[in-house]
Amino acid sequence: MAEEAILGFLQNNEKITDSGQFSSECNLDHNEVVNVIKSLHGFRYIDVEDIKKERWVLTDEGKKYAAEGSPEVQLFLAVPEEGSISKDELQKKLAPSVFKIGCSQAGKNKWVEMGKQVSRKVQHVEDKVKGLLLQIQEGKEIDIDSITSLKARKLIAPQIWKGYSVKKGPNYAPERKKVATDLTRENLQNWKELEFKEYNFNAKGAPLEAGHLHALLKVRKQFKDIFVQMGFEEMPTNNFVESSFWNFDALFQPQQHPARDSHDTFFLKAPSTTRTLPEDYVERVKRVHESGGYGSRGYNYDWKREEANKNLLRTHTTAVSSRMLYALAQKPFEPKKYFSIDRVFRNEAVDRTHLAEFHQVEGLICDRGLTLGHLIGVLNDFFSRLGMTKLRFKPAYNPYTEPSMEIFGYHESLGKWVEIGNSGMFRPEMLLPMGLPEDVQVIAWGLSLERPTMILYGIDNIRDLFGHKVDLDLIKRNPICRIGI
C-alpha cells in the first residue's frame, strides 16, 4: 500500500517533500512508510534525503489535560455560577494536583476570588491550554509564546522527528520489478527473461548453524598441542572404571589411606571387583606395602587383595600412568614422554570451585638419570608455553612421589600467585616392583583442566562451565582459546 502510494505519487510529481506529511495525507502509518522508503532506496528506485525536525509532543500530564481539560478550567467549573463555595469543599471535589495547580492558575488568570470562600469573578472562561495541547497532539504549529508557557508547565517536551524527502532514483519504475534472487534450476533456464538481483557484498552473511566447541575442549586442544610440540605421546584414557590396584596400590598408596575411603572415592556396585591383575606384579606390590624392599621399610601392615580388587571411578589419571609404566617395564627399556587429558571422579561436595568429576592434565617423562632439576626445567618449559613464566615450588606430599612439589605460577593479569599443579618424582617403591631398571627415574606432574579454563574465560563458578547448568549460548559465543604469550 505504502509502496504503491510512493511510486504512484512520484509518477506524476517530482518530489515527496516530507514523508511525515505524505503519510498523514495518505492516511498511512509513518513507520510503515519509512520502512518502504528504505527498501525502495536499497534498490535505487528512489533517492532520499534525511529530514530531522524538532517537534513538540505532550508529556503524560499534557495528555491528561488534553483529554480532561486544564486544572484551572476544572477548578473554575467546580465553583458555582452564583454565590461561593468553601475552599475545603472545593478541595474535596477535585484531585489533589488539579486543585493545587488549578488554584494558582485560576487565581493568576483572575477567574476566581480566593479566600476562605471561593467565588467566580468572570462568567465564562475558555480552555486555551486544552486547545493548544490538542493542536500540538494533531501536529499543528502554535505560536512561540504558547510553546514557552506550556514548556514551563512541563506539559510538552521536544522530540527529534526523523523523516525523508523522496525523489525518483536511477532505477525508478511505477511498480517494483520482481527480481530473481536465487540461482535455481528454473531461474537459470529462464535467465534471458529474468533480471537478477545484484550481489550485495556489504551484507552480513547468515549466521552459520554449526557445532560449537565447549571451552574445556578448546583449552584441552591447546594443552594437547603443547604436549605434542614437546614430543609427548598421548596415553589411552578410555577406561573411567579402574581397579583400586592400579589407582592406589600400584602407586604405593597404603590401603588405609583416607583417599581410599568411600567418602572420597566412588566405588562400583556392579561389577564391584576387577577380574584380572598381573599376579606376579601384585605379589611384589603386596610385599613392598607390607615389608618394603628396594631400600624401603614399607608400611608394615597386612595388605589385602580384596581391597585392591575393588572397582572404582578413577580418582586421578595417575592410574593410567601406572598402567603405562608397568607395560613399559615389560619390554626392553625405552625412554618415554607421556601425557593424558581426561576425566577423573571424586566424591566431593559440589560448590563454586568443586565438582564430583573434572578433568586432569597429566604429563610424565621416564628416562635414565632424571633429577629434580630436570623436573623443574620441564615444568618451566611447559608452563611458559602457557604464558606462565614465573614459577614457584612448595614441598608437598604424595604417597607415590618423593620429592613432591606443588607448583605456583604468577598470573600476570590476576596479579597474584596461583596454585597451578602438583608434581614429583615417582618413588622407587612404585617403579621397581614394576620391573623398571634401577637407574630409571620418572618425573611427573598433574593439574586440572577446569582451573586454567575458568581463568582464561573469566568464569568464576565451575557449574557454569560443566554440568547441567551450562548456558549453551555462552558456548556459542565463546571466543577461540589463546593460551600463551
Query: Which residues of this protein are in contact with ligand PHE, per CB under 6 A?
Result: 316, 318, 362, 398, 401, 422-424, 444-446
Per the rule left: phi > 0, alpha: psi between -120 and 50, beta: everything else, 471 is: beta
Q: Which is nearer to ligand PHE, 375 or 483 (CB)?
A: 375
Least Cβ distance, residue 453 to ligand PHE (angstroms): 17
Residue 399 C-beta: closest distance to ligand PHE, Å: 10
Strands 440-448, 117-120: pairing kind: unpaired
CA angle 423, 355, 413 (to 5 degrees): 60
Best CA proximity match to 308, nearest among 276, 280, 330, 343: 276
Enter the C-alpha cell of residue 325: 609404566
Smallest distance from ligand PHE to CB 362, Å: 6
Distance spanning both ends of the chain, measured CA to CA:
60
* Cα dihedral 300, 302, 306, 307 sign: negative
Q: Least Å distance between CB 345 and ligand PHE?
A: 12
- Measured distance CA(408)–CA(412) in Å, rounded: 13
How many other CB atoms are there within 10 angstroms of residue 357's CB atom? 15
* CB closer to ligand PHE out of 253 and 311: 253
DSSP single-letter state for residue 293? B
Cell of 332: 626392553
The C-alpha angle 345, 351, 355, rounded to 5 degrees, equals: 15
Closer to ligand PHE at the Cβ: 64 or 427? 427
Tracing cell 608437598 back to the chain, one arrives at: 396
Q: Compare residues 164 and 338 and give the one whose CB is closer to ligand PHE.
A: 338
**Nearest distance from C-beta of residue 422 to ligand PHE, angstroms:** 4
Kindly state the smallest distance separating residue 338's Cβ from ligand PHE, in Å.
11
Backbone angles phi, psi at 441, to 5 degrees: -115, 155
What is the nearest approach in angstroms of ligand PHE to the Cβ of residue 340?
10
Q: Which is nearer to ligand PHE, 76 or 426 (CB)?
A: 426
Nearer to ligand PHE, 303 or 445 (CB): 445
Q: How far is the CB of 275 from ligand PHE (least distance, A)?
A: 25
In the bound complex, which residue of the shown chain has the CB atom lying closest to ligand PHE?
Answer: 446
β 311-313/391-398 pair status:
unpaired
Closer Cβ to ligand PHE, 316 or 385, answer by number: 316
Backbone torsions φ then ψ of 310, nearest 5 degrees: -60, 130
Specify which residues 393 forms β-bridges with: 407
Q: Which is nearer to ligand PHE, 161 or 393 (CB)?
A: 393
Closest CA to 16 of 43, 34, 1, 39: 34
- Structural contact between residues 410 and 383, judged by C-beta atoms closer than 8 angstroms: no
Q: Give CA angle at 467 (463, 472), nearest 5°.
A: 90
CB 371 to ligand PHE: min, Å: 15
Work out how close the CB of 261 gets to ligand PHE at its nearest, in angstroms, rounded to a whole number.
16
Closer to ligand PHE by Cβ: residue 102 or 421 = 421
DSSP 184-240: -HHHHHTTTT--BPPP-TTSPPPPP------HHHHHHHHHHHHHHHTTPEEPP----
Task: Compute how many other C-beta atoms are within 10 angstroms of the C-beta atom of residue 147.
Answer: 16
In the complex, least distance from residue 472 CB atom to ligand PHE, rounded to whole angstroms:
30
Opening angle at CA 57, ends 143 and 158, nearest 5: 80
- The least CB distance from residue 441 to ligand PHE, in Å, is 13
What are the residue ranges of helices labelled H in 69-124?
A: 71-78, 87-93, 96-108
Residue (101 or 405) nearer to ligand PHE, CB: 405
Q: Nearer to ligand PHE by C-beta: 72 or 362? A: 362
Q: How many C-beta atoms lie closer than 10 Å to residue 442's C-beta?
A: 25
Q: Measured from the CB atom, is 163 or 446 closer to ligand PHE?
A: 446
